[in-house]
Structure 1
């Protein structure tokens, strides 16, 4: 059975908080980049990438690695 938040150690809670912060930062950066970048500079549709970046860690990382034309 999964532990409840109060049952986690301080280190575990810190790690979860750090990973959550990193995920939200990646999500925000990807969404801002999608908003500002012209469609001609994106591989595929902006709508599809906008949906994909909501997939934990993998979506924003995939967008930055494969979704932008260089």
Structure 2
């Protein structure tokens, strides 16, 4: 076993407090909403209005929080 992992337990959903469960669900919902909005915008936007290849942005958007924000900030041409 890796020494970094020794002594660390993986937490189960049932081990989390109600507040931690709620925050996990809220953050997950925000992430999914951002990603879905970014992918929808990317799909509808013509390639000439996107900075870089659309296929690359499709993958970048999948990166938690950072990807969709990057797309909206630098990926779109106005």
TM-score w.r.t. structure 1 length? 0.97
Give the alignment of 1:49-64 within 5 angstroms.
Answer: 49-64=57-72
Query: Following the alignment from structure 1 to structure 2, what is the Cα–Cα distance between the partners of residues 47 and 8?
Result: 37
Alignment gaps of 5+ in structure 2: 1-8
Question: 1:60 and 1:3 mapped to 2: Cα distance?
Answer: 28
Secondary structure class of the residue paired with 1:17: helix
**Structure of greater Rg:** 2
Q: What residue in structure 1 maps to residue 25 of structure 2?
A: 17
Partner of 1:40: 48
Moved over 3 A (4+): none
RMSD over aligned Cα, in angstroms? Answer: 0.6
**Structure 2 match to 1:65:** 73
Structure 1 gap segments, 5+ residues each: none
Aligned-pair CA distance for 1:3: 1.7
* Equivalences, count: 70
